[in-house]
Amino acid sequence: MRSALYNKLLLVFGPRPPLNWLLLFLVSILVLIALLGSSSTNGFDSVATSARPDIFSNYRRLKEQAVSDYLELKKLGANPSNDFDLCGKERENYVPCYNVSANQLAGFSDGEEFDRHCEISREHQYCLVRPPKEYKIPLTWPSGRDVIWSGNVKLSKDQFLSSGSMTKRLMLLEENQISFHSDDDEMTVDGVKDYSHQIAEMIGLGSDADFHEAGVRNVLDIGCGFGSFGAHLLSLRLMAVCVAAYESTGSQVQLALERGLPAIIGNFISKQLPFPSLSYDMVHCTQCGIFWDDKDGMFLIEVDRILKPGGYIVLTSPRSRQQRNKGSISTPLEEYTQKLCWNLVAKQEDTFTWQKTTDARCYISKHGTFPLCNGDDGPSYYKPLVRCISGTGSKRWIPIQNRTSGSLGSSELAIHGINPEDFYEDLEFWRSALRNYWSLLSPLIFSDHPKRPGDEDPMPPYNMVRNVMDMNAHYGGFSTALLEARKSVWVMNVVPVGERNTLPTILDQGFAGVLHSWCEPFPTYPRTYDMLHAKGLLSHLATEKCSTVDLIFEMDRILRPEGWVIISDKVAPIEAARTLVTQLRWEARVIDLQDGSDQRLLVCQKPFVRK
């Protein structure tokens, strides 16, 4: 069966063509497009201009995109060596859009200077972010969860020594390694295990193995320390995603991702998190540095927005700016939580646990609560924080305790407006696509006689990648296929702004996911993903009028050395992307699946440049 598959596969290969030749090739494609474009324009003019205006305008945009990509490429081609230079050492841990001093200069204050402002730090210096001198390829999962190379993350010894909070204490610095105590390490008094157990007991469970029974499947961990709590929750088959502010050194997000744990840079100082309302079953914060009673409780309202009905809020040592008034029985924090219809489930030592109401009428019937938001709240991308309660009118207002376990059934799909047949067909497609992809993750396909691993060669191991990003995730079918095939991965499912917003469907399957505009850099540190997958993204980008060149450079930044890229798209954007990625020194092969379609795969591996 594999050999049939192999026979169906045609690998297009050859030596790298010189740049001039490539430019000539691009020009001829452009001429061709222009010719075809003008003839079909005439066709539309005479027959169907009014009937098919959007096809025409999409087409024109594609054409414009091709021209601008060509011009950009030509400009880049001025580089005498034809390859791009490495950025300076100061960019080793570069995350665009978080330049605090530039934001201050632009007039942002009140904490907003720490927000993401991509419009300010736009610059077009194309260079490749280099790895630190001591960078080493991370250990594979699960060893990589407990031991990381200290040269791979930016962490000073002082930061390490001063790390005092519970989740941070669990590290030991060895020569060039940082190790975290694993769960089954009996030598240590592991605070995380006890802590997780304590939370389970507080919400009335016998042990933390029972979180699923209480309807808890996904957890948003705000400010995750070094990720140990999340690592423990993952071992209990919960999806725990860390979200923390950008930090130039000692970043919690960088550390968590280096350990192979789901994490993303984010804050909610003035803008909503890029998640829809009613997304998470539990929101957790241990000393995450937020003053919860600031801004008249706006931060608490944002937590309420992303939480599902009946979901839990766990705050340990919550900070409060205002001191308790003398003689008053309740702190401002308690007042806000009452106004939000959160029910205090338990308080033990410094840990408070509330449950969000399951009854949307609570907000109306009770005097003094926040008002309900009007209408559908739409995709949350750079949306300002709101002073109203979201999600009460949503079809997704279902208490977590009432949810059926396992995959989405047809009644849930109906809630998401998805045709079950469409959904299962998509899943079937990804099951077979994955079998295909996995066999391509081998340096063998870049050799002079490219081939997939045959019977005599072992298949790539199940744990060869850990942090995977699906850059255009649709329903999350690629994640499902990976998990069904028992690959040891987690997937960041990205729903591009402008595509159909399927993020609620992704999150309701218990996956990690986020909204993102690929016209901008992704909020993560360099070298944090082992594999990037993008189906149809290049075509989507053309309709959004953003630059393919910027995208490919961004992919290079977030991909670790020797990491993999699989791009699936139509012939023309794939060929253009190949031209570009070879200039970035990626190994690249275009693969024609010989299924009669104009779809091609571009399989790439980023080299480990040590300079």
Task: Name the residues that contact ligand NAG, by CB under 6 A.
Answer: 99, 101-102, 105, 398-399, 402
Q: Which residue has the tokens 């929101």?
A: 283
Dump the DSSP string for 425-485: HHHHHHHHHHHHHHHH-SGGGGSSS-----SSSPPPPTTS--EEEETT-TTTHHHHHHHHT
Q: How far is the CB of 103 from ligand NAG (least distance, A)?
A: 8
Q: How far is the CB of 410 from ligand NAG (least distance, A)?
A: 17
Q: How far is the CB of 135 from ligand NAG (least distance, A)?
A: 20
303 contacts 275 by C-beta, under 8 angstroms: no
Closer to ligand NAG by Cβ: residue 360 or 519? 360
Q: How far is the CB of 423 from ligand NAG (least distance, A)?
A: 22
Return the ∠ at Cα 251 (arms to 224 and 129), rounded to 5°.
135
Q: Exposed, middle or buried by CB within 10 Å (0-12, 13-18, 19+), for 452?
A: buried
Closer to ligand NAG by Cβ: residue 392 or 439? 392
Closer to ligand NAG by Cβ: residue 402 or 419? 402
Q: How far is the CB of 540 from ligand NAG (least distance, A)?
A: 28
Closer to ligand NAG by Cβ: residue 115 or 530? 115
Closer to ligand NAG by Cβ: residue 248 or 419? 248
Beta-carbon-side half-sphere exposure of residue 24 (alpha carbons within 13 Å): 5
Closer to ligand NAG by Cβ: residue 94 or 141? 94
DSSP state at residue 18 = P
DSSP state at residue 80 = T
3 state DSSP class of 323: coil
Q: How far is the CB of 123 from ligand NAG (least distance, A)?
A: 7
Closer to ligand NAG by Cβ: residue 399 or 498? 399
What's the Cα-to-Cα distance from 506 to each of 14, 216, 230, 475, 512, rounded to whole Å? 40, 16, 19, 6, 7
Q: How far is the CB of 358 from ligand NAG (least distance, A)?
A: 7
String of b and e for 379-392 (b: at least 16 CB within 10 Å)?
A: bbbbeebbeebbbb
String of b and e for 186-216 (b: at least 16 CB within 10 Å)?
A: eeeebbbbebbbbbbebbebeebeebeebbb
Q: Exposed, middle or buried by CB within 10 Å (0-12, 13-18, 19+), for 404?
A: exposed
The two three-digit tokens of residue 395, written as one number: 């079809």
Query: Using CB atoms, what's the residue nearest to ligand NAG?
Result: 102
Closer to ligand NAG by Cβ: residue 291 or 397? 397
Q: How far is the CB of 402 from ligand NAG (least distance, A)?
A: 4
Closer to ligand NAG by Cβ: residue 248 or 348? 248
* CA neighbor of 231 nearest in space, from 258, 265, 267, 201: 258
Closer to ligand NAG by Cβ: residue 162 or 402? 402
Cis peptide upstream of residue 142 (ω within 30 degrees of 0): yes
How far is residue 215 CA from its own chain's centroid? Answer: 24
Q: How far is the CB of 147 from ligand NAG (least distance, A)?
A: 31
Q: How far apart are CA 504 and CA 278, in angstroms?
A: 8
Closer to ligand NAG by Cβ: residue 50 or 101? 101
What's the Cα-to-Cα distance from 23 to each of 19, 68, 77, 80, 549, rounded to whole Å? 6, 13, 9, 15, 15
Q: How far is the CB of 91 from ligand NAG (least distance, A)?
A: 7
Q: How far is the CB of 109 from ligand NAG (least distance, A)?
A: 16
